[in-house]
Homo-oligomer: A and B are copies of this chain.
């Protein structure tokens, strides 16, 4: 960790001042916006807390891109291999956006607000510009804009009880279901989603003037559940196998390599830009495949450049996220490994930036 210089270009959120008052000590930058990444407690302490209680996260950096208008559903379906229109309207969908070469552009959660109005809750790339390019290139009748909507995540096993006290009944929502709620007269979407292995909700506040009131109400009603401000937890994310755009995957990755087959319609029943390329990749198989890993040797430190995975001196993969898991007493990691070594046991090693080599074990990650 080093200093981060602030400017208007790296946007504050309506909750940044509240996070600062709560003792935020560090940030990351996602979508040109501040994401709190540490408070006074350690990442290990936050990890245990998240697994037992409930936390409040400022995740405004998950920018909300709206695609609306006559051709909106055509445009959104054109840029994802997932069959967008086959699911119930109250389901929100995690899906890859891909280019015509099947390279992953982003992996948002998509809400179908009405038949001609979609919201993309995006990961760290300017997916809006890609959608604008497609729309302009094809002369489509759509409006594409970033909404002034401010997501807060309530994460942890006690999340439902806190959200219910502030916004009303929410336990009927299934995983990846959403509905409209109201807070102080203002309508807002709530989904049972979040970037953790635990239960949780995301609340999409539409009026920034209510940010402090919403934060304060959740903190107040969460007090008996031991709520505290937090942030996406690196250890928990890795253990849950949650990919991070920019870390595990980039425009050079494709959904097959990233084990997202479940989100890819490959039978030709829907048409999208990258279909032919993606089908060919699927038929041929990819050289690398997304995987989880564990390795010992004490806490590994920050993975800020990909770490090579080596077998007999040959490069067979790379680690892109890693952290010490206090529960497993081993390091946990995500990355890619060559498909033919993807079932390997203890024979591979990982080498970190300090040139320390440690024996590595391949580990399955949850297939979404």
Residues of A within 8 A of B (CB): 1-12, 24-29, 32, 37-38, 99-100, 105, 124-138, 146, 244-247, 251, 273, 302-306, 320-321
Q: Given the known A-B contacts A12-B304, A125-B129, A133-B133, are A28 and B2 also in contact in the complex, defined by CB atoms under 8 Å? A: no
User: Once the chains bind, are B134 and A7 in contact (CB under 8 Å)?
Assistant: no
Inter-chain contacts of A251 with B (CB < 8 A): 128-129, 146
Bound CA–CA A337/B263 (angstroms): 48
Inter-chain contacts of A135 with B (CB < 8 A): 133, 137
Inter-chain contacts of A27 with B (CB < 8 A): 2-5
Distance to closest chain B CB from A323 (angstroms): 11
Q: Given the known A-B contacts A3-B27, A132-B133, are A8 and B303 also in contact in the complex, defined by CB atoms under 8 Å? A: yes
User: Once the chains bind, are B138 and A7 in contact (CB under 8 Å)?
Assistant: no
Inter-chain contacts of A273 with B (CB < 8 A): 136
Inter-chain contacts of A29 with B (CB < 8 A): 4, 10, 29
Bound CA–CA A5/B100 (angstroms): 33
User: Once the chains bind, are A3 and B26 in contact (CB under 8 Å)?
Assistant: yes
User: Once the chains bind, are B130 and A132 in contact (CB under 8 Å)?
Assistant: yes
Distance to closest chain B CB from A298 (angstroms): 19
Inter-chain contacts of A146 with B (CB < 8 A): 251
Bound CA–CA A306/B6 (angstroms): 12
Closest to A319 in B: B8
Bound CA–CA A306/B126 (angstroms): 22
Q: 17 pairs across A/B with beta carbons < 8 Å? A: A1-B4, A2-B26, A3-B38, A4-B28, A5-B26, A5-B28, A5-B37, A6-B302, A7-B302, A8-B303, A12-B305, A99-B132, A125-B126, A127-B129, A132-B133, A136-B273, A137-B138
Bound CA–CA A320/B126 (angstroms): 21
Distance to closest chain B CB from A242 (angstroms): 13
User: Once the chains bind, are B303 and A7 in contact (CB under 8 Å)?
Assistant: yes
Distance to closest chain B CB from A226 (angstroms): 25
Question: What 4 pairs across the A-B complex have the smallest Cβ distances?
Answer: A133-B133, A137-B137, A3-B26, A9-B246
Task: Please give 4 more A-B residue pairs, beta carbons under 8 A apart, in addition to A3-B26, A4-B4, A8-B246.
Answer: A29-B29, A128-B251, A133-B136, A134-B137
Bound CA–CA A122/B73 (angstroms): 31
User: Once the chains bind, are A38 and B130 in contact (CB under 8 Å)?
Assistant: no
User: Once the chains bind, are B247 and A136 in contact (CB under 8 Å)?
Assistant: no
Q: Given the known A-B contacts A5-B1, A135-B137, A136-B137, are A10 and B24 also in contact in the complex, defined by CB atoms under 8 Å? A: no
Q: Which among B7, B11, B126, B133 is the interface contact of A28 at CB below 8 angstroms?
A: B7
Distance to closest chain B CB from A276 (angstroms): 12
Closest to A307 in B: B8
Distance to closest chain B CB from A206 (angstroms): 19
Inter-chain contacts of A4 with B (CB < 8 A): 1-4, 26-29
User: Once the chains bind, are B305 and A8 in contact (CB under 8 Å)?
Assistant: yes
Inter-chain contacts of A303 with B (CB < 8 A): 7-8
Distance to closest chain B CB from A255 (angstroms): 16
Bound CA–CA A146/B103 (angstroms): 13
Bound CA–CA A213/B150 (angstroms): 46
Closest to A126 in B: B126
Inter-chain contacts of A137 with B (CB < 8 A): 133-138
Inter-chain contacts of A127 with B (CB < 8 A): 129
Distance to closest chain B CB from A253 (angstroms): 13
Distance to closest chain B CB from A317 (angstroms): 14
User: Once the chains bind, are A129 and B124 in contact (CB under 8 Å)?
Assistant: no
